Amino acid sequence: MSTQDRIETKARDGWHDPATGRAPRSNGTGTGGGTRSGGDRLPRPPGRRRPGLAVIAVLLIVLGAAVAGLLALRIDERVPVLVARHDISIGHQITASDLSVARMASEGVEVIQADRASDVIGRYASQTIDSGRLLDSGMINTSGLLTAGRAAVGIALKPGRFPAGGLKTGDVVQIVQSVDGAGKVLVPEAIVGAVVDPSDNAFGSGGGDTTVLTVMVSPQLSPDVAAAATDGELSLVLLRRGDPAGGG
């Protein structure tokens, strides 16, 4: 047995060097030191971090919060405004039953807020207003169709003396008088102010199949129109629908 083998044998048996008090160190060539133990291995390097992804995630969160805030502010800016509950004809005097309320953002849009309904009720439509349309001050006026320079004349007409499709407030018509089978234009352009259909069963409807209309004409022509209406000589020719400008 060599000297090195004897030293390693004594170390395994608990022998200590009397000079140092410690067991002799192995040079790694013997049976006790062939390989490095598991505890002596180097630690594995940590995984690579990606700070760019973290920055993008933060930006997305901030952007989402900003969009949500803007939407909330936009909703808060909606105000109740007036809209037409149904179709409103030109010249019609507006009542509460003609109005409804909707909520919308009024910024940049000319509308009438719901708390101003009393300013609208009792006034007249200056144009045809479709159902659901937002109301603005340009659609209403205080005088209706009976303005300065116009006179209102009532006419009772039998079927065949006006278009089969009927007439409505604001229509522009020509008033023709029939004399001895010949037609004479009494008023080149007049405005229909109101129409009472016999099916309404309302006072002034004329009864039977007679339709009563009010037409706006010039004061100079109103006597001739009223006289011809009494004799049942008038017919109305439709020129155009719902035009607020009219002659007579």
For 147-200, the pLDDT digits (tens) are 778 888 999 998 889 998 888 888 899 999 988 878 899 999 999 887 877 665
Among the residue ranges 13-17, 112-116, 210-214, 215-219, the one predicted with the least confidence is 13-17
pLDDT in the model for residue 183: 85
Per-residue pLDDT tens digits for 114-156: 899 999 999 888 778 889 999 988 888 887 777 778 888 999 9
- Residue 208 DSSP SS3: coil
User: Quick one: pLDDT band at residue 83, thresholds 50, 70, 90?
Assistant: very high
| pTM tops 0.75 | no
Q: Is the dihedral of CA 235, 240, 242, 246 positive or negative?
A: negative
Q: What is the model's pLDDT at position 39?
A: 52
Q: Is the pLDDT of residue 221 over 90?
A: yes
Give 29 or 113, the one with higher predicted confidence. 113
Can you give the pLDDT at residue 25? 55
What value does the mean pLDDT take over residues 203-222? 77
Q: What is the pLDDT of residue 245?
A: 46
Query: What pLDDT score does 187 carry?
Result: 93
Q: Which pLDDT band, with edges at 50, 70 and 90, does 206 fall under?
A: very low
Higher pLDDT, 98 or 53: 98
* Residue of 109, 112, 90 lying closest to 101 (CA atoms): 112
Mean pLDDT of 35-48: 57
What pLDDT does 97 receive? Answer: 92
Strand, helix or coil for residue 116: helix
Q: What is the mean pLDDT of residues 27-55?
A: 58
Structural contact between residues 85 and 131, judged by C-beta atoms closer than 8 angstroms: yes
Q: Are 23 and 16 contacting, i.e. CB atoms less than 8 angstroms apart? A: yes
Q: Determine how many CB atoms are found less than 10 A away from the CB of residue 162.
A: 22
Helix (H, G, I), strand (E, B), or coil: what is residue 128?
A: coil
Q: Quick one: pLDDT at residue 103?
A: 86
Q: What is the structure's pLDDT at 225? A: 93
> 153 near 217, Cβ under 8 Å?
yes
pLDDT at 237 over 80: yes
| Residue 192 tokens, joined | 């229909």
Q: How confident is the model at residue 73 (pLDDT cuts 50, 70, 90)?
A: low
Compute the average pLDDT of residues 61-84.
76
pLDDT > 60? residue 62: yes
pLDDT averaged over the chain? Answer: 76
